[in-house]
Amino acid sequence: MPNPKRRHSTRRTALRRSHDFLTATGLSECPVCHEKKLPHRACPKCGEYKGRQVLEVKEAAK
């Protein structure tokens, strides 16, 4: 069976992992309640989308 000939240095590992990272989610602001929300989706906080109430939202959360 083929096996590695040389030990990997920590530097080599770190170099490989230099491209492993997460990017932040792109967020937009709700025009009604100014909460951050995912773009192209109804606002989970106030239930509005494109100027219309589309979801039922608990009063306490408003």
Partner 1 sequence: MRHRNAGFKLGRNTSHRRALLRNLVTSIIVEDRVETTVAKAKAVRPHVEKMITLGKKGDLHSRRQALSFLMTDTAVTRLFETVAPRYGDRQGGYLRIVRTGFQKGDGAEKAFIELLGAEKQLDEKRQKRAEVKAKKREELEKQLEEAKKEQGGEEAA
Around Cβ 9, how many Cβ atoms within 10 Å?
A: 9
Partner whose binding site includes residue 27, from Zn ion, partner 1, none (CB under 5 to 8 Å by kind): none
Partner whose binding site includes residue 33, from Zn ion, partner 1, none (CB under 5 to 8 Å by kind): Zn ion
State which amino acid sits at residue 45: K
Q: Rule CB under 8 A: choose which of 17, 19, 40, 62 binds partner 1.
A: 40
Around Cβ 47, how many Cβ atoms within 10 Å?
A: 18
Q: Tell me: does residue 42 bind partner 1 (CB under 8 A).
A: yes
> Running DSSP on this structure, what letter comes out for residue 47?
-
Per CB under 8 A, residues contacting partner 1 are 38, 40-42, 44, 49, 52-56
